[in-house]
Structure 1
């Protein structure tokens, strides 16, 4: 199942009346074209610590009203050890992987500067309302916990949320849902389930869409 598409995002945007001024893309990697197509002409704050993605991110900056912050977002400011997967950098993480997740085998530890999303946003000229995307390989809950003020002016969250135990010491699925709820967000849509096999194991993760507007109560139109 994969509905993480521009068409689906445009539908959610229309159905929920979403109109963010700035999109916060946390864990950019090579970019999030679904968001860029669904929300053109918006301001983008790209948060990605890995220079390996420099060419792709600089292209996004050239083609969109975007700023690249070369830090990681987390629960508190500081420096953390980051496990850089050289062969598959998209699988890089602050957390040790469980056997369920695995890695390419060529993993190098580097120090990465971390700051809260609240601090990062406050240090720039960007303003809300915001849309927030998080894909940080097991660090998603920490990003939320460092974004208390930003979330007050955020219309929606799209996040890759771990379901199975992919990372040592990682959050439980229910913890992420509870943190979203504590900040006023409702689960609106399941965009992707991976893997998605009826005869296979439970999913490793889901791409989920949260909004402050409840689908059944506030949304209008078809």
Structure 2
């Protein structure tokens, strides 16, 4: 559940910093092994780290001790419930999207709503979100409508094909969803390709609030 190319991600954030963007709160959904350089880049920010897999617990717990961070060992979705996570190989492909494969292990997992984690309207801004949940992106956002009203910049790993079944949102649907929530595409990076035909398989998309400072002067 980590971003594909850390260097591209950090270069993007260097650009945002040059525009004056310094988040007060970072919400990282699907932390995995963490994103090297992200937490040290914003030492004054508070981090909310969401990761359901027990295999990553030692790593994320260590990050939470080293930085101003809160660790939540759960998944996120549109409703609060006891759900199921399909364990992938490699581990970062694990997902609560509902798609199953006969060779994959499944586990019960606590699923919470993003809007139940914080009172977003009273949080310090700017707020940055990173979502890497392997096909469950729209489900996470449907449980975070208030979060979307108050966040400033959100990076989402978007798929270009429905690798996880018909319920999986793909790139143009995520762009439409975020457009309806008041966001525009600021940048795209970390393109991944299908090996057998080199079709673009996934990309990390940075969505900025349309009326925010990062979109100032852009039409």
TM bin (shorter chain): 0.7 to 0.9
CA RMSD of aligned residues (A): 2.8
1:39 aligned onto 2:42: yes
Which residue, 9, 20, 25 being the options, matches 2:13? 9
Distance 1:132 1:149 in 2: 13
Aligned to 1:186: 184
Aligned to 1:153: 150
CA deviation string 1:154-180 (max 9, x = no partner): 110011011112111211322211111
**Compared CA separation, residues 216 and 122, structure 1 to 2 (3 A):** closer
Report if the CA contact (8 A) 1:193-1:207 is conserved.
Answer: yes
Question: Normalization by structure 1: what TM-score?
Answer: 0.83
Distance 2:123 2:82 in 1: 24
Which residue, 126, 134, 145 being the options, matches 1:129? 126
* Greater length-normalized contact order (CA 8 Å, ≥ 6 residues apart): 1
Which residue, 22, 27, 30 being the options, matches 2:25? 22
Any stretches of 5+ residues in structure 2 without a counterpart?
A: none
What is the CA distance between 1:4 and its match in structure 2? 2.7
Report if the CA contact (8 A) 1:213-1:219 is conserved.
Answer: no
SS of residue paired to 1:118: helix
CA deviation string 1:186-219 (max 9, x = no partner): 101112110288x933211101111114799615
What is the CA distance between 1:33 and its match in structure 2? 2.2
The aligned length equals 211
Matches for 1:64-213 after TM superposition, within 5 Å? 64-85=67-88, 87-95=89-97, 107-122=104-119, 127-168=124-165, 169-195=167-193, 200-213=197-210
Aligned to 2:66: 63
Report if the CA contact (8 A) 2:87-2:107 is conserved.
Answer: yes
Report if the CA contact (8 A) 1:164-1:202 is conserved.
Answer: no
**Compared CA separation, residues 65 and 83, structure 1 to 2 (3 A):** same
**Compared CA separation, residues 40 and 195, structure 1 to 2 (3 A):** farther
Is the deviation greater in 2-11 or in 137-146?
2-11
